[in-house]
Amino acid sequence: MPFRKKKNGDIDEDMASDLADDLGDGMTDADDDEDNVNLDDLPFNELPIEVQFKRMPKRPKSRRSWLSKLLIITLFLSPFCATAVAMIPVLDPETGWRLFHAGGPEATITVPGTERELQEEIARGVKDIQDRDRAAMEAANGANGQGPSAEDIAGNLDGVSDLIGTPGATDGTGDGAPTPEELAALIEEEGSFDEPIEPDPLRPAPLPGLDEEGSFGRIPRIGDDGTTPFEAYKRPFELPEGTPVVAVMLTGVGLNEERTDAAINDLPLNISLAISPYARDLQTVAREARAMGHEVFLELPMEPADFPLSDPGPRALLTSLSEGENLVRLEWLLARFPGYAGLVSRQGSKFGSLDSAIRPVIEFISRTGLMYVEGTGSGVASYGAQLAANDGTPNAISNVIIDDTPSRRHIDRRLAELVEIAKRNGVAVGIAQSYPVTIQRLRNWAFRLKRQGVVLVPVSAVSGQQVTPQSADEAEAARLEAEEREREVMAEQAEQEEALSEPADPAEPDEPANTIEN
C-alpha cells in the first residue's frame, strides 16, 4: 500500500497502524514458513541426520558379502564340529571304528597274541559253552522224559572236556579216569557252570585308625592296637591241612571297564585282584571289588632289566633316582585308593635285585603293615621278597606267569603247571593279566579245580608259606652279595655310557687326516 505523507513530512497515523499490522503478519508468516520448510529445497548437509541416512544410497548385497558371512560362521562352528567328531570313538567305539576304518583292508591273518586272536579265543570259548548247554538239553530231553543216564552224560562230555576236565585224566585218586557214574556225581555236586557267583562282601574301606595323612593323600599305617592293613583288608580264609593250595592274582584291573566288570563279577571270589595305579576311578573299582568279595592289591611299577625297552609307566621306581625320590613316588602310589591288603611288584627285575634300591622300599612297606608280593614269576625268592621275609612282612612269590602268551592252549598249559607245582610244593601262586581269554579260562579252570585235589585260596592266605626268613649271618651274606652285584651292574652301565660318549676313531697314522688343506 503506498504511504501518503502530509505536507509537513510526517506519516499519517492510519497509515502507521496499517504498517505495523503488515509487519506483524509478515513475521507470523515467516515462522510458519520455517515450520513448513520443504526438505527438497535444502542442501544435503543441512538435512537432519535421520533424513541423511535414509537418502544415502544403499549398496546391494554382493556375493563376496555372503561368502564372508559364511566363512565367519564356519570358523565359529568348526571347533564344536571337530570336538563332536573326535568324541564319536569315545562314546561309541563301534561306530567310531566303522567311521574311521570304512573301506580299509580286512585282516585275514591272525598274529599270535593280537586282539584278533583273543577275540577268536573268546568265540571258541562261547562255542564250547553252547555245545555244553546243547548236550545237557539233549540229555535232559531223553526218551520217555526220563533223566539222562550215565552213558548219555559220558557221551556228551566228549565235546566239552575243556570245561569240566578231560575224561581220560585222573581226579587225584591215581586210578585212571573216573567212571561215567562218578562224572555224573561230580557234575551234580559242582552245580552248573552258568550259575552266577554270590557276593560275599568285605568290610568297607577305609577303616578308622588304619591310615594317616601323607604328602599326596591318605596312606596306610598300622593301627594303635597293632592291627595292620593287611589283616584288616585281606579276605578271611583258613588254609586246609594236608591239601595243596593254589592262589591266583589278576593284574591290570581297572584299565578297561568291560574286563574289570568281568573280573569282579565272573571270577571266583578267592581270586585276588591287583588294581593298576594308572586306572581311572580307582576308588570305585576297589569299592566294587571288595563289595563283591575280592581282596584287592595295588600294583607297584618298578624298573625292569630291559628298561627303557619295557617301560613300567610314570611314577615308577627307578634305579637312576635317589632313595628320597623313590620314596616320594612310593608315597604317591600308596595314596591312590584305600582298602588294599598289599602291593605286587610289576616288572622290577632290575630294581628288585639292587640292595640300595629295594631295601628302603621294603622297609617303608613293613612300617605300613602291608603285604609284598613278588610278581616276576621266577618261582624263586627274589632279594626283595627275602628282605620282606627277614623283616617279618607278609610276603609271597609268583611261580608262574599264566598268560605271558595270551593263547587259550598256552593258558591251559600254564594252569596245569601251576597245579603240579602246588601238588609238589604244597602251595603255588600264579600271576595273570586281565585279558578276556584269561578271565574265561580262569573261570573254567576254577570250576573243575576241586576234582584235582587242589583248593583255590586268596593270595593273602599263602603269606609266609614260600620264603623262609634268613638268619643274621645269612642275611649279611646276602646283603654283601647284592652289593657286589650292584657294583657290577653300575660298572657295566658306566662302560656303556663311556662307549656311547667316545668320539669316532682317529685316522690311521699312514692316512692323512680330513683337513681343509687335504
For the chain, what are the domain ranges?
64-98, 116-190, 214-469
Taking only the tens place, the pLDDT of each residue in 49-81 is 888 878 877 766 677 778 888 889 988 888 888
Please report the pLDDT score of residue 5 as a whole number.
45
- Determine the Cα–Cα distance for residues 132 and 153; give it in Å rounded to an integer: 11
Residue found by looking up cell 592291627 in the block:
227
Q: Name the phi and psi angles at 290, rounded to 5.
A: -70, -35
Evaluated on CA atoms 283, 286, 289, 292, the torsion sign reads negative
In the structure grid, which three cell numbers stand for residue 361, read together? Answer: 622300599
The DSSP H or E segment spanning 182 is helix 180-190
Residues 6+ apart with CB under 8 A from 206: 218, 338, 339
Neighbours of 232 (CB within 10 A): 19
Cell of 455: 583248593
Homologous superfamily in CATH for domain 214-469: Glycoside hydrolase/deacetylase (3.20.20.370)
Least confident of 212-221, 248-257, 442-451: 442-451
- Kindly tell me if the per-residue pLDDT of 508 is higher than 60: no
**Rounded Cα–Cα distance for residues 336 and 253 (Å):** 14
pLDDT confidence bin for 157, thresholds 50/70/90: very low
pLDDT in tens, 1-18: 444 444 444 445 555 555
User: What pTM did the predictor assign?
Assistant: 0.62
Query: How does pLDDT run across 225-259, given as a tens digit for each residue?
Result: 999 999 999 999 998 888 999 999 999 999 999 99
| Residue 470 confidence (pLDDT) above 50 | yes
Task: Provide, rounded to the nearest whole percent, the portion of the chain with pLDDT above 90.
Answer: 38
CA distance to 38, 77, 483, 518, per residue, from 357 (Å): 101, 54, 11, 54
Measure the CA–CA gap between 350 and 358, rounded to whole angstroms: 10
> At 272, is the secondary structure helix, strand, or coil?
strand
Burial (Cβ within 10 Å: 0-12, 13-18, ≥19) of residue 170: middle
Q: Which residues of 42-77 are buried (b: 16+ CB within 10 A; e: fewer)?
A: eeeeeeeeeeeeeeeeeeeeeeeeeeeeeeeeeeee
Q: Please write the tens of the pLDDT for every residue from 415-439.
A: 999 999 999 999 999 999 999 999 9
